[in-house]
Structure 1
């Protein structure tokens, strides 16, 4: 797959991707209602190399989804890696381990899966939603999102109303949503008519057992 995008000014051309530290470099944001966000800009150094490898190595799929009374195309390409499945790049395995080390592996909060979304142009998007926990959305959980490629804006709003908060993500940035964020808040990436390059997001999630 051949794509052009604006590379990061901070990447070393031809250098291997590398993870930065978490710890004090993570900014914690209280969203209220028991929800929070952690931000770590530029966590994946030389992230353009990782973006290019994922474009080529991942078996991207064009998904379809039932919406109301019809089946529609999902406006992005997707791929999913379940528990125990080899991830498509060793940097992603290192990232999963680093996140679990940082957050301490609390019960039912160990990052075990990775879902990848490929936003090719400004026409690719995801509507307002909260991520499900198993078959429901009635529990607190964490979702970690690493972004490589061009910058896109992830918007977050409370289900009870109020201001929309916008977080530009790309070029190795990390955002982690936790607490009640998937229940009390929604997030989205809107379509845009601006000229934007392609972006890949990697979402690390825990696995919830039905009996937990």
Structure 2
């Protein structure tokens, strides 16, 4: 079962909403990703370079990381669906969590259920101590606990209507298109986490009452 969770920054604080223009940038960048046309002319100019950086990172990680390897199923259909969603975006601002769910739907994933929970120290260790980060865990553990242990996250149990690698690609585009990183900002402080192993089993156990 694919599982993702929205981190605290997607749910509260200054990043809980994005402008309509930035939402358009994410959806059009994902549409280009699915169709194979890249940033092209679809992505608004201010975010075109960010979309290109996301594509490069996906390509680089796919060379060595299995979760990033694969291909989009029905890419043309997904691209068209994402572009159709652009017209339905409200004026002004969009809730970040709503945009994240919308973009997953365009890609072909459905949110089966959503659950708010506080990870706690045990939960942070369960999610991050495995091979789910590109760094050794112990050096980053204290900062992860400070950031995530006491704050609510929202866990989404997904219906898998798309290749699993696309979730990793989606995560990469979300981070490049929706975040403007400040110099020195903690890299694991972002909007979403994609679970691709025991971390998914742990979270499903938590939200369905079979775990700790």
Note whether the superposition's TM-score is higher than 0.5: no
Q: Relative CO higher for 1 or 2, CA cutoff 8 Å, sep ≥ 6?
A: 2
Normalised by the length of structure 2, the TM-score is 0.28
| Larger helix share, 1 or 2 | 2
